[in-house]
Structure 1
Amino acid sequence: MKSTVLVTGGAGFMGAHLAEELIKLGYKTVVLDDLSGGFEENVPNKAVFVKGSILNFKLIRELFKKYKFDYVFHLGAYAAEGLSHFIRIFNYRNNLLGSINLINESIRYNVKCFVFTSSIAVYGTNQLPMKEETTPQPEDPYGISKYAVELDLKSAYEMFGLNYIIFRPHNVYGEKQNLGDKYRNVVGIFMNQIMQNKPLTIFGEGKQTRAFSYIGDVAPIIAKSIKIKKAYNQVFNIGADKPYTVNYLAETVKKAMSSNQKTKHLPARNEVVHAYSSHNKVKKVLGYKTKFSLEEGVQRMADWAKKIGSKKSKKFKNIELTKNLPPSWVEK
């Protein structure tokens, strides 16, 4: 009999790729997504799709009762570190309280393992390379909410025996990203700007560094993790090893898109300047190995982006604080 898994956020970028990998591995896969940032066409055909929110406690309980999930993969979140300062209530409600709804039902229905995608945002700044044993010091509400869920999972394991696996991915990009989201996912933002014949906008001097990680390297490892008992109740960084500046990324995207578009530097925003992590643990326990270089991954995404075309950016409607909000985010 097939094991049944729940993938929250499965119509979004990472969730859709993960659902595909789980189906390949033979799992009956149920996708839950409210389509606030994802698209129904991203959901694999062989998955059961349920439109709904992780904040809908009644729906969550009904789904657990109906499907009796063996495993839960929780990716449903609004992942925007910079914007999270200005959407604090929205951030904590969606990223923290929604997670607790899922954890409660996972305990109630004896889920075998709860897999949570956290973020390297939990580390904060000046902790390089970021290692799992480093004490997190998140600096933005997004990172704070992610770390709070991590702590709750540890507590749930100690009190109720709910096994968990926590992944801290970083700067993941690839096909199926929401190109119209101007607040997050810089690779998609650059590609969308090029297709709209607009300059590529970079906050500050562009010397900030990130280890941009291709989804094709990340999703398969997360999917197979539940088969490896040594991974249970552990935390893993996952992503590319080599960091690049945002300036270099911009040039890489322009080359992949066959563009000579100019770049435009905006005033610097409050963000972690350098972020990259150690992956020794995930390599040892889960056999993680990157297959795609930055250039290869960006080219794959660019080929996909050119096929679907540009997307109109929508203004985020739930801005709670406008003080110190970057001007480019205020514009309609």
Structure 2
Amino acid sequence: MANLVTGGAGFIGANIVDKLIKNGEKTIVVDNLSRGSRENLNDEAEFYEIDIRDQQVLKNVFRKHEIEYVYHQAAQADAVLAQEEPAFDAETNIVGSLNILEMCVEYDVKKVVYASSAAVYGTPTELPLQEEHLAAPESPYGVSKLTLEYYLEIYKEQYDLDYAALRYANVYGPRQFAEGEGGVIAIFITRALNGSPLIVYGDGKQTRDFIYVDDVAEANLKAMTSNTNGVYNISCGKQTSLLKIISLLEDIFDKKLKTSYEAPRSGDIKHSCLNNNKAKNQLDWVPNFNLKKGLENTVKYYKNK
């Protein structure tokens, strides 16, 4: 019996793999390395360089290994690219993910834990957002993530495939790409190390709910062992402004960081925060890393890199 982690050479997936291996679990990784990296791979995991859109090659992995649980992290995760090429986004995040679900049914997988996103909500009408909040995505990326949640419901009803869809807040930590809105902390740290100014779009008072990657990985394991099905916010449940992030980084670097302010970006949500009580109550999960500790760990990683 084995665990399959799609996107297991990526930012979040690699952290899940490390936890599984540490727990003595046989773990298989599928990743096309479009955003993942070989250096993220755990040596004790069996790796297949596969695109989830290739159903036949994917079938060979399921046929060879007795896959019991699937952590589905693989995705087209660039929101800007999704806006520019929505068909490509859908091909990966919807069609590719359906290939995974079809394999799960065919090979009697017990449960799927799926990486969803706060992008499914769109502009919040209240904060902190609860899972019952209207899902009204405002980007192709959010649409593709929400679509898979609907498919998971159907596969549960029709094939009794257990699932948990985890709606991630803004995840940060070691191994994150220093690009994109979701990687703002990685971008800030990288620019600080290079002596470049930190670029803030708007006044810096916009807030996000930042969650450390180790806590997200732990939430995946908790969701897999839970006997519940459904969607769960995975977050710290706290609003933090970009100005606060910069202030904390200045404390860690022990110096004033150069900052450049530019015009707000069109379509950016001003404030975001997710209520995590459902995950706490049903998954027996709580975030363990406060923001200062998470930032210190992340800075240390980029310094060593």
Scaled by the length of structure 2, the TM-score of the pair is 0.94
CA distance in 2, matches of 1:209, 1:38: 28
Q: Secondary structure at the match of 2:289?
A: coil
Q: Which residue of 1 aligns with 2:98?
A: 100
2:257 maps to which of 235, 256, 261: 261
RMSD across aligned C-alpha pairs, in angstroms?
1.5
Aligned ranges for residues 132-211 of structure 1 at < 5 Å?
Answer: 132-179=131-178, 181-182=179-180, 184-211=182-209
Aligned counterpart, 1:79 = 77
Distance of 2:182 and 2:120 partners within structure 1: 17
Structure 1 207/86 Cα, relative in aligned 2: closer, same or farther at 3 Å?
A: farther
Aligned runs of 1:14-29 on 2, under 5 Å?
Answer: 14-29=12-27
CA distance, structure 1, for counterparts of residue 239 and residue 261 of structure 2: 20
Aligned equivalents of 1:81, 1:255: Cα separation in 2: 31
Residues 195-225 of structure 1, C-alpha deviations (whole Å, 9 max, x = no match): 2221111122222110111112221121132
Cα deviations across residues 106-165 of structure 1 (Å, max 9, x unaligned)?
A: 111111001101011111112322111223111111111000000011111111111111
Structure 2 vs 1, CA of residues 256 and 89 (structure 1 numbering), >3 Å: closer, same or farther?
farther
Pair 1:290–1:184, CA change in 2 (3 A) = closer
In the TM superposition, residue 70 of structure 1 has moved relative to its aligned partner by: 0.6
Q: When the two structures are superposed, what TM-score results if normalisation uses the length of structure 1?
A: 0.87
Change (3 A) 1:265 1:213: same
Using the TM superposition, give the Cα deviation of residue 95 of structure 1 relative to its aligned residue in structure 2, in angstroms: 1.5
User: Are 2:277 and 1:280 equivalent residues in the alignment?
Assistant: yes
Query: Is the 1:81–1:121 contact (alpha carbons within 8 Å) kept by the matching residues of 2?
Result: no
1:83 shift after superposition: 4.6
- 2:287 alignment partner, one of 283, 286, 290: 290
1:260 counterpart SS class = coil
Secondary structure of 2:112's counterpart equals strand
For 2:84, what is the secondary structure of its paired residue?
coil
Correspondence for 2:215 among 214, 217, 235: 217
For residues 205 and 84 of structure 1, do their structure 2 counterparts lie closer, same or farther at Cα, with a shift above 3 Å needed?
Answer: farther
Evaluate the alpha carbon distance shift between residue 183 and residue 283 of structure 1 in structure 2; reply closer, same or farther with a 3 A threshold: closer
Per-residue CA deviation, residues 40-71 of structure 1 (Å, 9 max, x unaligned), is 11111211111121111121111111113111
Q: Is the 8 A contact 1:82 1:271 kept in 2?
A: no
Structure 2 residue matching 1:251: 3-state secondary structure: helix
| Aligned residue number for residue 330 of structure 1 | none
Paired amino acid for 2:296: Q
Describe the shift of the 1:184–1:126 C-alpha distance in structure 2 as closer, same or farther (beyond 3 A): closer
Asked if 2 retains the 8 angstrom alpha-carbon contact of 1:194 and 1:259, the reply is no
Q: Name the aligned partner's letter for residue 115 of structure 2.
A: T
Amino acid at match of 2:129: M
Q: Which runs of 5+ in 2 are unaligned?
A: none
Q: Using a 3 Å threshold, how does the CA distance of structure 1 residues 184 and 214 change in structure 2: closer, same or farther?
A: closer
Q: 1:260 offset after TM fit, Å?
A: 2.4
Q: Mind listing any 5+ residue stretches in structure 1 that lack a counterpart? A: 309-332
- The alpha-carbon deviation at position 184 of structure 1 amounts to 4.1
Whether the 8 Å contact between 1:191 and 1:257 is mirrored in structure 2 is no
CA shift in 2, pair 1:210/1:184, >3 Å: closer
Indicate conservation of the 8 Å contact 1:82/1:140, yes or no.
no
Task: Tell me if the contact between 1:203 and 1:268 (Cα under 8 Å) persists in the aligned partners.
Answer: yes
Spell out structure 1 runs of 4+ moving beyond 4 A.
none
Aligned length: 303
CA distance in 2, matches of 1:163, 1:289: 22
Q: Rate the CA distance shift 1:89–1:183 in 2: closer, same or farther, 3 A.
A: farther
Structure-1 residue corresponding to 2:244: 248
Matches within 5 A, 1:102-117: 102-117=100-115
The 1-side partners of 2:139 and 2:261 are apart by 23
Q: In the alignment, what sits opposite 1:328?
A: none
CA contact (8 A) 1:38 1:178 kept: no
Note the C-alpha offset of 1:82.
Answer: 4.5
Q: Which of 38, 41, 46 is the matching residue for 1:40?
A: 38
Q: CA deviation at 1:176?
A: 1.5
